[in-house]
Amino acid sequence: MAASRRRPKAQTDSAPKQAASAEELLKYYREMLLIRRFEEKAGQLYGMGLIGGFCHLYIGQEAVVVGVQAALKEGDDVITSYRDHGHMLACGMDAKGVMAELTGRRGGYSKGKGGSMHMFSREKNFYGGHGIVGAQVPIGTGLAFAHKYNKDDGLSAVYCGDGAINQGQVYESFNMAALWKLPVLYVIENNKYAMGTSQERAAAGELFQRGSAYGIPGVQVNGMDVQEVRAAADQWVEYIRAGNGPVILEMKTYRYRGHSMSDPAKYRTKEEVEKMRSESDPIDKLKKVMLDGAFVTEDQLKEIDREVKAIVTESAEFAQQSPEPDPSELWTDVLVEA
């Protein structure tokens, strides 16, 4: 997996933050595991017909969102595409509310009216959940615009995939963000396949360089290693907060499941997937780091497994017990009543 290719000198000079503490590593492990177990459960509920429509699982990419979120602070905004369950959990949104939205129930974050691709939490500064490929990029740039307009210290983390990065509106956003030095971190989650089309067949050039014409620094990061993600995000978030404008982080990552639940993923070999799972899994990797460094005992890890499993089981139960929305909900939330 490629390491960071283009790190400006500043980073190597000013020593990056100290290696993460044992406590932080445990937190990353727990968050990544929660996303994985949650997504596995979502896949299961989908197979049982309890979740309908499109359902895009994040399994394999957990280190990206957990590492980036660790570098953000209270008041920063997050926005992403339709592969969004992991981001919501990493933002601290309640697993019960997310799962109940997947099952289209009253207890879901959008009262059952949004579904997998359209969930939001103003409380947690999570701005969706967007189903149109690339649409979150100008919207997220607008969140950053609002931070600048309000002269607060916040920034906006805008996630998009290697497919979205070919949309024209992404470059319209890059241009304005660079022109106006907006506080925005663009995170490209390059999982190698835009649905069934590999990056090689869809994208000319390197993705991390896509902002270079606008003077936006771009860095490629091993998105399968949560510590590398965190280190890069830390460094560049600081750069953004200093008023230098936008940054692009290209996370080299991989999704184990199909594009959505109905994707048989015939565009790649079983061996390729198996190789990534066995050699580059972000959760296994962190587990090894922690055990090797004696930061954690097997018993502690088992305890985390149990906690996470309990959260996921509870969310699945809630998602099945929560009633469907009342039919009267059809007509609410179309407009804000003045």
Partner 1 sequence: MPIEVLMPALSPTMTEGKLAKWVKKEGDEVKSGDVLAEIETDKATMEVEAVDEGRLGKILVAEGTENVAVNTPIAVILGDGEDATTNLSNIEESSPKTAAQPVIKDSGQRPDATMPTGPSKGPAAAPPASDEDKFFDKTVKKTVREALRDAMAEEMRRDPTVFLMGEEVAQYQGAYKVSQNLLQEFGPDRVIDTPITEYGFAGLGVGAAFKGLRPIVEFMTFNFAMQAIDHIVNSAAKTLYMSGGQMGCPIVFRGPNGAAARVAAQHSQDFTPWYASVPGLKVVAPYSASDFKGLMKAAIRDPNPVIFLENEILYGQSFEVPESEDFIVPIGRAKIRRAGTDVTITAHSLMVSYALAAAELLEKEGISAEVIDLRTIRPLDTETVVNSVKKTNRLVTVEEAWPTCSIGSELSALMMEHAFDYLDAPVIRVNGLDVPMPYAANLEKLVLPSPERIADAAKKACYRA
323 sits near partner 1 (criterion: CB under 8 A): no
Per-residue binder mask for partner 1 (CB under 8 A), 263-302, x = binder: ----------------------------------------
The footprint of partner 1 on residues 69-88 (CB under 8 A) is 77, 79
Q: How far is the CB of 120 from partner 1 (least distance, A)?
A: 4
Q: How far is the CB of 148 from partner 1 (least distance, A)?
A: 9
The set of residues, in sequence order, having a beta carbon less than 8 Å from that of 316 and lying 6+ positions away, is 41, 45, 99
172 sits near partner 1 (criterion: CB under 8 A): yes
User: 192's torsion region: left (phi>0), alpha (psi -120 to 50) or beta?
Assistant: left
Q: Which residues of 93-108 are buried (b: 16+ CB within 10 A; e: fewer)?
A: bbbbbbbbbbbbbebb
139 sits near partner 1 (criterion: CB under 8 A): yes
89 sits near partner 1 (criterion: CB under 8 A): no
Per-residue binder mask for partner 1 (CB under 8 A), 179-218, x = binder: x---------------------------------------
Alpha carbon distance 212, 210 (integer Å): 6
261 sits near partner 1 (criterion: CB under 8 A): yes
46 sits near partner 1 (criterion: CB under 8 A): yes
Q: Rule CB under 8 A: choose which of 60, 108, 161, 217 binds partner 1.
A: 108
118 sits near partner 1 (criterion: CB under 8 A): yes
Q: How far is the CB of 40 from partner 1 (least distance, A)?
A: 12
132 sits near partner 1 (criterion: CB under 8 A): yes
321 sits near partner 1 (criterion: CB under 8 A): no
User: Which residues are near partner 1 by CB under 8 A?
Assistant: 46-49, 77, 79, 108-114, 118-122, 127-132, 135, 137-147, 149-150, 156, 168-169, 172-173, 175-176, 179, 261-262, 324, 327-328, 330-336, 338
